[in-house]
Amino acid sequence: MSGPTGPRIVTERLVLRPFTDVDRTPLAEMDTHPLVVETMGSSPSRVESDALADRYVDEMALEGWGRWAVGVKGGEPFVGMVGLRRVDAALPCAGGVEVGWRLHPDHWGHGYATEAATASLGFGFDESGLAEIVAFTATVNTRSQAVMERIGMVRDLDADFDHPGLPEDSPLRRHVVYRAVASHPRPTVAVER
């Protein structure tokens, strides 16, 4: 992984920045935390986690947006990951752009996911000219659904789907879909290039 390439977004309390090598260990620790694994379905190996960090860097360089490492201003340098990515071709909403987040459970309940996801939406619409952004999660992941609602996304009942990458008997297989469009109200974000 080379030096960071891509924009930084600064919110009231957070800094969203491109991933660097120092984020590899906290990313792997977050993604293997039992409460995080509970909503992901499996725990990635360190090699898989490092490959994910590399993908975040590559996507940021290619698109000019992607998944950002999230730190707290004057505090923890890494509390999680939030940002945009193209939807996987195997999923029903393929071709779209997804906003997603994952925070270490030590940092849940502070509104960081809401603040960072709102900034990501703003960047996608205002800086990148996206027309629509989707979000999806397992039906049992009510915490993420609450964030989707807090950031003003609207549930698309007709778009719910069974995730093809999960076993048929998995409680995580059924997914709900939320959408936001460019006219979506949001605060202005500070972008540093």
CATH number at residue 57: 3.40.630.30
What's at 75, amino acid-wise?
A: G
Q: How many domains does the chain have?
A: 1
Instruction: Confirm whether 3 is domain-assigned.
Output: no
Instruction: Give Cβ neighbours of residue 189 (< 8 Å, ≥ 6 apart).
Output: 9, 10, 11, 119, 122, 123, 126
73-93, pLDDT tens digit by residue? 999 999 999 999 999 998 988
Structural domain includes residue 192? no
In a domain, 2, yes or no: no
How far is residue 130's CA from residue 153's CA, in Å, rounded to a whole number? 15
- What domain range is 133 assigned to? 8-185
Tell me the two tokens of residue 174: 């059924």
Task: Read off the pLDDT of each residue in 105-119 and give the average, rounded to a whole number.
Answer: 96
Quote the CA–CA distance of 44 and 149 in Å, as a whole number: 28
pLDDT of residue 41: 73
Each residue of 31-60: pLDDT tens digit? Answer: 999 888 888 777 888 999 999 999 999 999
Domain assignment present for residue 164? The answer is yes
Percent of the chain with pLDDT over 70: 94
